[in-house]
């Protein structure tokens, strides 16, 4: 094309890496080398993504496939001298309560001198998926002074973040402060935070908890000839297939939409390559949390 009549081309979009590999230094001496090596790899390879997950403590190297992962790991070991380990990828679980419960959180320590006194009555009920922690109050007559309502909420939220079983955070709860007691001298912000936290622990013990696992929504792009095989594989991964349409950009390919647990996607990039003879690709997005199988 001439300079006065340039050819316009759409920018080439790089595919999103879909194979997560957990990487960790084998020893403290390797930690700095690992950090340096990972930074260099991400800078040199635009198809790589590095993710540090606060909820699991893992560092994930997102790769295009198993061959790509092998090359990157060998580069870390050979070029950067890192003794790198690849532990199993962990998904972040949550919990919610199984049924409504009305409980009392009692934090009373009075043994002479300035003590601690806070009693709260909480109505705790399961919330809608994705609702988080919703806190409210229906206290009548100043049984718990309004200055301490925020303290109770702070204690509830802190305990929910810490979890009550194996450190799994509690989510999707409605917590309503309905009653309680205060002391003119011994009540404090800290005491009502402690009572709120204790109340949430009591609710989990009384109602029982349900473990929740993260789910994702995926779009799988494959030649139409492989749709049946792809759907069968997805069904074996506890997926709910929500759609199957002709690819708008290629009438010989199809787009399969499905929802499935994140844990079932950990090795899906490799599995899809196998069932589609290397011709398939997929994208994902977080969907929320659903009860995990017992």
Question: Average pLDDT, whole number, for the chain?
Answer: 94
What is the C-alpha separation between 221 and 6, in angstroms, rounded? 33
Going from the C-alpha of 60 to that of each of 5, 18, 88, the distances in angstroms are 46, 11, 10
By three-state DSSP, how is residue 120 classified? Answer: strand
> What is the full per-residue pLDDT of the chain (294 aa) written as tens digits?
456 777 666 566 677 899 999 999 999 999 999 999 999 999 999 999 999 999 899 999 999 999 999 999 999 999 999 999 999 999 999 999 999 999 999 999 987 778 899 999 999 999 998 899 999 999 998 899 999 999 999 999 999 999 998 889 999 999 999 999 999 899 999 999 999 999 999 999 999 999 999 999 999 999 999 999 999 999 999 999 999 999 999 999 999 999 999 999 999 999 999 999 999 999 999 999 999 998
Strands (E), 139-183: 173-181
Name the pTM for this structure.
0.83
Phi, psi of 285 (to 5 degrees): -150, 145
Cβ-proximal residues to 278 (8 Å cutoff; 6+ apart), any chain: none
C-beta separation of 48 from 40 below 8 A: no
The domains located in the chain, with CATH, are: 15-90 (3.30.70.870), 94-207 (3.30.230.10), 212-294 (3.30.70.240)
What is the C-alpha separation between 205 and 97, in angstroms, rounded? 9
With helix as H, strand as E and coil as C, how does 60-118 read?
EEEECCHHHHHHHHHHHHHCCCCCEECCCCCCCCEEEECCCEEEEEEEEECCCCCCEEE
Give the HSE-up count for residue 251: Cα atoms under 13 Å, Cβ half-sphere. Answer: 0
């Amino acid at each position: 094309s001439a300079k006065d009549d340039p050819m316009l081309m759409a920018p080439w979009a790089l595919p999103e890496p879909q194979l997560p590999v957990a990487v960790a230094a084998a020893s403290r001496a390797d930690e700095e080398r690992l950090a340096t090596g990972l930074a260099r790899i991400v800078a040199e390879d635009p198809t790589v993504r590095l993710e540090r997950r606060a909820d699991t403590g893992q560092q994930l190297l997102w790769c295009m496939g198993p061959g790509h992962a092998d090359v990157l790991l060998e580069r870390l070991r050979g070029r950067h001298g890192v003794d790198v380990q690849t532990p199993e990828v962990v998904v972040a679980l949550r919990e919610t309560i199984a049924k409504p419960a009305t409980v009392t959180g009692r934090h009373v320590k009075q043994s002479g001198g300035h003590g601690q006194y806070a009693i709260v009555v909480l109505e705790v009920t399961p919330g809608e998926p994705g609702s988080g922690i919703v806190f409210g109050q229906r206290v009548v007559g100043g049984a718990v002074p309004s200055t301490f309502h925020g303290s109770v909420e702070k204690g509830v939220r802190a305990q929910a973040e810490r979890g009550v079983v194996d450190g799994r955070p509690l989510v999707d709860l409605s917590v309503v402060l309905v009653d309680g007691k205060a002391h003119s001298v011994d009540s404090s912000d800290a005491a009502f935070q402690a009572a709120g936290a204790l109340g949430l622990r009591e609710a989990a013990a009384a109602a029982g908890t349900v473990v929740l696992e993260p789910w994702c929504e995926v779009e799988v792009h494959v030649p139409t000839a492989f749709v049946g095989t792809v759907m069968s594989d997805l069904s074996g991964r506890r997926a709910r297939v929500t759609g199957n349409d002709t690819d708008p950009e290629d009438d010989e390919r199809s787009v399969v939409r499905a929802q499935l647990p994140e844990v079932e996607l950990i090795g899906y990039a490799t599995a899809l390559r196998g069932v589609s003879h290397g011709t398939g690709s997929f994208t994902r997005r977080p969907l929320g949390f659903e009860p995990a199988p017992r």
